[in-house]
Amino acid sequence: MLQDFFSGKELCNNINQDEAVAYGAAIQAAMLDGRFHELSLLDVTPLSLGLEIREDDMSVVIPRNTRIPTKKEEEFVTNRDNQDAANFPVYQGERARTKDNNFLGNFEITGIPLAPKGCVSFNVCFEIDANGILRVSAEEKSTGKKNKITISDFEGRLSKEQIKKMIQEAEKYKAEDEEHKKRAEAKNALENYAYKMRDTFEDSNFPEVDKKKIHDSVGQVTEWLDRNQLAEADEFKDKMEELESICSPAIANMQQDAGGPTVATHPSHPDHKLELKTYKKPYTCDGCKEQGFGSRYRCDECSYELHKDCMFNTQLTSHDFYEGSIFKFFNQPPPNKFFNSCDACGKAVNGFLYLCEAEGKSLHPCCRNLKNAICVQGGKGNGKDKEEFESLTFQLHKQMLGQCIWCDKNNLGGNSSGIG
């Protein structure tokens, strides 16, 4: 009779009636007691919710114990070249691999643009309403194609005992899952960097000798990846450093006025090419929103200008000061993230940035590309006495020193923070 009243919906039979009555009576008594008039009950998600990415990895969107109702959004990208469809399998659980979690449902977006891996992005939204109904939607950004799935009573699909067991197993295998996450992150960072370098050098005005060198190096790395899918995190990181040591000098050379292209395009300004120009007048970079001087890439038609560091960003990178951390490039700070300032210079982050979400660190592109050391040849100074000085080497430090280690002069700001 009750099932007929609710249009044939399947009833949840795993609730103990006596416990429910006692629980409700206790709550009502507490609310009637003047000491507990502020008492309020909040539903929370019993397990984390997320998507399966890269075969068997769980990417959490809504963490366990998040208050209901809630809404969270994340950005995802394609993980293969020339993908014509994207699949969105939804899971709940606390383990690093989806095979150890609970499958809830699946949906697909077809007819997406054919493009290199990582170039097609989706805005994915997880929303749970006050009735506990989960809605997951995704939209491909360039075409607006979208799809969604509605999952009702996802909380009632598992009993309290099953949920408790899943949480206990997550705690039991925590170290194993952490190791898997590190290995997966290092492997994916290497794959993404290799593909990014391949595409960067194929579709650019780099010298042919550099193109061949990078092409051969990337080919060797991808072949190594095919043979070593189960390698340790340190092995993936070592390969990443090897490839960076080959690609970074070529990119640095391209960024020099004499060696780099004078005309190029950028995804943030796709309709017009930007030309390398030099003006004495300062400008505000339309990428990172920071001030710049001298050379910049500019579209005269739109007055759109980019620092060279913003013009030639990479999707993934690293920094010597944050060993083992992978920084991802963003056009702007992600929503619902509290990264207000650059961890190098301390200035506000309002546009282009490199972000390491695992460490909670963010860097302006120009701060990321600061050289670890600058050598100044000896000669006569510019001061009144024209004193001669020996060759000097300035080392980059993670924090600005209160006093110069060479001349004992204090910095202008007294106690300063940030890279100096």
Close Cβ partners of 346 (under 8 Å, ≥ 6 residues apart): 417, 418
Is the CB of residue 117 less than 8 Å from the CB of residue 79?
A: yes
For residue 334, cis peptide bond before it (omega within 30 degrees of 0) = no
| Sequence spans of domains, the chain | 15-44, 49-159, 175-255, 263-366, 371-420
Close Cβ partners of 146 (under 8 Å, ≥ 6 residues apart): 109, 137, 138, 139, 140
- How do the pLDDT tens digits run along the chain, 420 residues long? 666 666 666 666 767 778 788 888 887 777 777 666 555 667 889 999 999 987 789 999 999 999 999 999 999 988 888 899 999 999 999 999 999 999 999 999 999 988 878 778 899 999 999 888 999 999 998 889 999 999 987 766 788 899 999 999 999 999 999 999 999 889 988 988 888 788 777 655 667 777 888 889 999 999 999 899 889 999 999 999 999 888 877 776 665 544 456 788 888 888 888 888 877 678 899 999 988 877 889 998 898 999 888 888 777 787 777 776 788 888 888 775 566 788 888 888 888 988 887 777 888 888 888 877 776 666 655 555 556 666 677 777 776 554 444 444 433 333 333 444
Query: pLDDT at position 286, please?
Result: 93
Topology adopted by domain 175-255: Substrate Binding Domain Of Dnak; Chain:A; Domain 2 (1.20.1270)
Please give the Cα distance from 119 to 79 (Å, whole number): 9
For the stretch 201-204, contacts whose Cβ atoms lie closer than 8 Å and that sit 24 or more positions apart, written own/partner, are 201/247, 201/250, 204/254, 204/261, 204/264
pTM score, whole prediction: 0.54
Q: Cite the DSSP H helix spans in 64-207.
A: 160-172, 174-202
Domain 49-159 homologous superfamily, CATH: Substrate Binding Domain Of DNAk; Chain A, domain 1 (2.60.34.10)
Give the DSSP H/E element, type plus range, for residue 52: strand 49-53
Q: For residue 63, give the 3-state DSSP assignment.
A: coil
Close Cβ partners of 324 (under 8 Å, ≥ 6 residues apart): 237
- The strand pairing partners of 88, in sequence order, are 107
Q: For residue 250, give the 3-state DSSP assignment.
A: helix
Query: pLDDT at position 299, please?
Result: 92
